[in-house]
Amino acid sequence: MTLKELIGKYNNQYWKVLPNSLSPQCFDLAVGWTDNLGVPHYPNNPSPFPYVKASQIYTGFTSWQAQYFDRIPNTPTGVPPEGALVVWGDSYGGVGHVAIKTDIGDTNTFQAFSQNDPIGSKCVLKTYNYNIVTGK
């Protein structure tokens, strides 16, 4: 499924993927997207990310993830490509945040498909700036 198809299916819906999360989280959206892309799960883990916090998708990046993902730092001139997982640091809600970049964006703002931002919210398209973004 393309990103546009995924957005069409889950926009304004909750998307629960992980069995251990109490309610749909941003992490569920990231795992659902990577599952859709065929990225295998980390050994003995229900996702490609063996972490607890969304921020660790970037800060805890391992050689295992490097087989399937590029780790791109947030820079003043960088614009993440469509489909990239954009990761915010811990100062964003205490555990960070992750969302899927759409095809809209420049060096100041970008659009992402996001869930649980604000807490408890469904999947929506949202415009963000790069404040507190750790990487892509």
Question: What is the pLDDT tens value at each position of the chain, 136 positions in all?
Answer: 999 999 999 999 999 999 876 789 999 999 999 999 999 999 999 999 998 899 999 999 999 999 999 999 999 999 999 999 999 998 888 899 999 999 999 999 999 999 999 999 999 999 999 988 998 7
Q: Determine which helix (DSSP H) or strand (DSSP E) holds 4, and give its type and residue range.
A: helix 3-10
Contact predicate 101/111, CB 8 Å: yes
- pTM for the full predicted model: 0.95
Phi, psi of 43 (to 5 degrees): -50, 130
Residue 27 CB neighbour total at 10 angstroms: 25
Residue 85 CB neighbour total at 10 angstroms: 22
Contact predicate 100/84, CB 8 Å: yes
Q: What is the CA radius of gyration of the chain?
A: 14
